[in-house]
Structure 1
Amino acid sequence: MTYSVLDTFAGAGGFSLGFQLAGAKVIGAIEIDQWASETFQFNHPDATVIQSDIKRMTDKQILDTFGGTPPDIILGGPPCQGFSICNKNNGDHKDPRNSLFEEFIRVGRLLKPQIMIMENVPNLIKARTASYELVIDIITSELRKIGYHIDYKILEATNYGIPQIRKRLFVVASRTKLIAPFPEKTHTTMRSPYLMEAHLGICPTLWDAISDLPTLDAREGKEEAEYTIPPQNDYQGILRQGAATLFNHKAMNHSKRLVERFASMSCGHSTSDVPDHLRPLKRNGTEFSEKTYDQNNRRMHPDRPCHTIPASFYANFVHPYQNRNFTAREGARIQSFPDWYIFKGKPTVVSHKLLHREGRLEEKHLCQYNQVGNAVPPLLAKAIAQNILHQLRSQYAGSRQ
C-alpha cells in the first residue's frame, strides 16, 4: 500500500522528500515563499503546491484542494518564532495556540490523517509561556484533543548517517498508538565503535560528503556544471544516483581581502582568530569593526561531521581546504539532499532585515542557502518514514486478516 503525504510549512521539501524516498507519495504542499514553492514544485511535478500564507487559506480552500482524497500523513515545521523561544530575552513568550502551530492543528482537524509529524528546534522542550506552561505540554494537549496519541523525541542527525551535528525535535501524532514511533539508531560517529555498537555504520564526515565536488575559488562555478571525478565513497554514490549534471555549485563572490582572511585560518579558526590586519571592517568604512562574531566564517574540520547548517550558512562556514564559504550544493550534500534535487531562486539575497527596513518586501524570498539550511535532512526524514510506514502497513495487514 502506498501512503500519501501533505507537507505544510513545506519550505524546499526536505521533510516530504524523505517520505518519498521511503516509498510514500507526496501529493501536495503549502508554502508561503515563492522561491521555496518553485523548488518544491520543480522537484515534485505531480504534487499540488499551494503558495500561500496558510493563515489566509479558508477551511473550504483546504478541503477543496486536499479533501477529495485526504492525505494519510501530514508533515509540518511551524516556524519556531511563533513560539517565541529563539530569543529568550524578547519578553514575548506566546501561547502556541495563538501561533502558526494552530494552523497545523487546523489542517489536521480538517483532513484527519492517520499520522501528523511536527518538526521543530530542540529548545521547544524547555520553552514556557508567560504563565509558565510548558509549550510542549500545550502542543501535545492540542493534538490529543483532535484524536491523536502523542510521542516526541529529539533526534540527532549523525545517528542516521547524515554528516552534520544537528538535533531536532519531532512530535509524532498517530490515530493508533505506535509501538515504536522513532527509528533505531543506524550510525555512530566513533571510528572504532564499542562491541555493542559494532552493527552500526560509521557516520560520514564532512569530507566524505563533498570531496568529489569540483574545486572552486571565490567567484567561480555555475548553476549548472559537469562532474569532474566519480563518487569517492558510498555516501556520494547514493546522493549522485540519478543525477547526470551538477547543479547549485557556485562559489560566493568574495572580495580579495576576505579570501586573504580565509587563507590565514586553520581548521577550527573563525573570524575572531585572524591577524589584526585582516579583521573585518565596519560597514562602508575603513576602520576595524569592534565586534567579532566567533561563530562567523569558521573553517570546518574535514574529518568530522559538520556543525549544524543554519539558514544563513553561507556566512557561517569556510571550506576545509578552499578559501571560500560553502556552495549551496555543498550545504545540500551535508544536509543529505540528492544531487538531482535542484534549488530554485537566487543563491543569496540581501539581508531580510535590511529589505524589511527599506520596505523592499517584494525582494524578500528564501534563497537557495535559506532553503537548504531550513530543511529537515532528507535521509533523517527517510529513517523516520521507513519506521512509521512499516508500522502502518503492519496495522493495515492485520486489519484485513
Structure 2
Amino acid sequence: MFDLTKKNGNKPNFIDLFAGAGGLSEGFVRAGCEPIAHVEADTAAACTLRTREAFHVLRGRGDLSGYFAYLSGQLSRDEFYSLAFGPRSSSVINAEIGAKSLSHIFNQLDIQIGDRKLDLIVGGPPCQAYSLVGRARSEQKMVGDKRNYLFVYYAEFLRRYRPKFFIFENVVGLLTAREADGTRYFDMMWSLFKDLGYTVEYQVIAADEYGIPQKRKRIILVGRRGKKDGFFPELEKIPTDFLVEDAIGDLPSLRAGKGVPSAILLENPPSRWLAESGLLSADKSTTWHEARPHNPRDLKIFKKVVNRWNKNGERLSYNDLPESLKTHKNRSSFLDRFKVVAADLPASHTVVAHIAKDGNYYIHPDNAQNRSLTPREAARLQTFPDDFYFEGASGKPSRTSAFKQIGNAVPVLLAEKISQKLVENWS
C-alpha cells in the first residue's frame, strides 16, 4: 500500500461530511488515511458507514471471520456491531447538516477528535441542486433551493477545525449553477473559502481517464490553508486495455428477479483488471448480486436494445421501438431512456442514483440474462470492493437503498488516487 505517513510520522486523519455510503472515505482509508468521523443524514447510508467501520476494525485485528459471518446471516447486525465496537459507539454521526444540527454535530465531533489536530475534511453536499439534468427538468424550482447553500455549513466545519486541507467534490453543473440574480454558487463558495484563509484549486476530473470503468465527470476542489499554491493532486492518466466486461463479466449469470443480497462465493476466475484492482474479497465472496424483476414489455425492449448494440454498435432510440412497446407520451426528449451498459467499451455511461428507480438505463449486455444491472455490478463500475456491503435503514436488505447509495458515490479507486497524490504535496 502507498505510504501516506506524513513527515512527523503520523498518517493524515480526516472527517467525511455528507459522506453517503463512503466511496470517498473508503478510497482515503485504502490509501492509509485515518477516518475520525463520518456525518451522513440518510439512515441507510449511515448504517452502511457503520458496517464498513466495523469491517475495518475487525480487519485491523486480523480476523474478518465475524464480518463474513454477518454477511452470510450467521450474526445479526446488532451482534456484529457488538463484536466490532464492544461498549464504545460507532464514529458515524447520523444527522442532517444544517443550522439546527450544527451545535449537536460539533459536540460529537469534538469528543471524537479529542486533543488531536484535524488534518483534512472531505466530502461534498448533495448534488441534485447543481445537477445539469435536474436543472434541465426544472430550472426555476432549483433557484432558491436550500440545498444550493449547503456549502455554507461545510465552511463552518472549516472555520471550527481549521484543517490543513479540504476536498470538496460535486457535479460539473456546479460551475454553471446560478442564483436568480446571475451569481454563480461556485463564486460564492470560492470567496467564502478564501475568506476563511484557504487557497483553492480545482479541476474537472473524468474518472475513465484514471482507470475507472465508467464515464463520470466531477469537479474536485482542493483547499489548502494559507497562500501557497500548486498543491492540487495531479493524477496520472492511465491508458487502459480493459473493458466493462472485465469489471462485471465474472459475476454469476442471473435472470431478472433472481439472486440474493447476502454473500455468495464467486466461482468464475476474475479478470486481470479485477485481480490487479484490489477489489476482490479475501474469501472470494460478494454480496448484492440480486437482479430486480421486470415486466414482460420491458424485457422485450431490453432484448431489442442489446441486439441493436451487439449487431450494429448503435444505441436504440425510443422512437425506434414498435408502437406496441411504447407507453411514454414524450417522444421528443429522453429518447435514450433504455440503454445497454456495453460490455465491449472501456467505460460504461455514468451510474447515477436514478438507477434506484428503474434499471432501464442500465441494461445488462448479455441478452441471455435479459435484465438490468444488479447492485454489485453497479458497485463494480464504481470500484467498490466486493466485500463492501450496502445496508438498509431497517436492518433488512433494501435493493433500492443499495442502488441509491452506489449511484451517489465517488468511485473508490479514484478517491484512493486523489488521496495518494494529496499527501505527496502535504508539506
TM-score (normalizing by structure 1): 0.82
Shift of 1:256: 3.0
2:17 aligned with 1:17, yes or no? Answer: no
**CA distance in structure 1 between the aligned counterparts of 2:300 and 2:131, rounded to whole angstroms:** 39
Amino acid at match of 1:206: V
Aligned to 1:262: 302
2:303 aligned with 1:251, yes or no? Answer: no
Counterpart of 2:208 in 1: which secondary structure?
A: helix
Aligned to 2:352: 310
- Between stretches 82-91 and 319-328, larger displacement belongs to 82-91
Amino acid at match of 2:293: N
Amino acid at match of 1:13: G
| Contact 2:164 2:225 (C-alpha < 8 Å) held by counterparts | yes
TM-score (normalizing by structure 2): 0.78
- Between stretches 22-31 and 230-239, larger displacement belongs to 230-239
Distance 1:245 1:129, change over 3 A: same
Show the 5 A alignment for 1:127-138: 127-138=177-188
Aligned to 2:123: 76
Aligned to 1:230: 269
**CA distance in structure 2 between the aligned counterparts of 1:148 and 1:21, rounded to whole angstroms:** 27
Distance 1:44 1:134, change over 3 A: same
Shift of 1:81: 3.8
Amino acid at match of 2:352: P
Q: 1:378 aligns with which of 412, 417, 423?
A: 412
Q: 1:212 aligns with which of 234, 246, 250?
A: 250
Aligned to 1:62: 106
Amino acid at match of 1:375: A
| Contact 1:83 1:95 (C-alpha < 8 Å) held by counterparts | no
| Contact 2:233 2:425 (C-alpha < 8 Å) held by counterparts | no
Aligned to 1:279: 325
Show the 5 A alignment for 1:71-220: 71-82=118-129, 86-88=134-136, 89-91=138-140, 92-94=142-144, 99-176=149-226, 177-188=228-239, 202=240, 204-220=242-258
- Between stretches 369-378 and 251-260, larger displacement belongs to 251-260
Amino acid at match of 1:315: N
**CA distance in structure 2 between the aligned counterparts of 1:243 and 1:164, rounded to whole angstroms:** 26
**CA distance in structure 1 between the aligned counterparts of 2:144 and 2:283, rounded to whole angstroms:** 44
**CA distance in structure 1 between the aligned counterparts of 2:378 and 2:129, rounded to whole angstroms:** 26
Amino acid at match of 2:31: A
Distance 1:149 1:95, change over 3 A: farther
Unmatched runs of 5 consecutive residues or more in structure 1 = 189-201, 282-288, 350-366, 396-401
**CA distance in structure 2 between the aligned counterparts of 1:119 and 1:386, rounded to whole angstroms:** 16
| Contact 2:21 2:409 (C-alpha < 8 Å) held by counterparts | yes
Shift of 1:331: 0.4
Percent identity for Structure 1 against Structure 2: 31
Unmatched runs of 5 consecutive residues or more in structure 2 = 1-9, 58-89
Aligned residues: 356
**CA distance in structure 2 between the aligned counterparts of 1:144 and 1:97, rounded to whole angstroms:** 21
Aligned to 1:290: 329
Aligned to 2:85: none
- Between stretches 271-280 and 174-183, larger displacement belongs to 271-280
Q: Deviations over 1:334-389 (max 9, x none)?
A: 0111101111124444xxxxxxxxxxxxxxxxx10010010000111111100011
**CA distance in structure 1 between the aligned counterparts of 2:231 and 2:117, rounded to whole angstroms:** 25
Q: Deviations over 1:42-98 (max 9, x none)?
A: 011256101111113233641442442353111111123445863155325349897
**CA distance in structure 2 between the aligned counterparts of 1:15 and 1:79, rounded to whole angstroms:** 14
2:383 aligned with 1:336, yes or no? Answer: yes
User: CA RMSD for the aligned pairs?
Assistant: 2.3
Amino acid at match of 2:268: I
Amino acid at match of 1:338: P
Amino acid at match of 2:17: T
Q: Deviations over 1:169-202 (max 9, x none)?
A: 01111115353413233313xxxxxxxxxxxxx1
**CA distance in structure 1 between the aligned counterparts of 2:15 and 2:135, rounded to whole angstroms:** 30
Shift of 1:128: 2.4
Distance 1:95 1:317, change over 3 A: closer
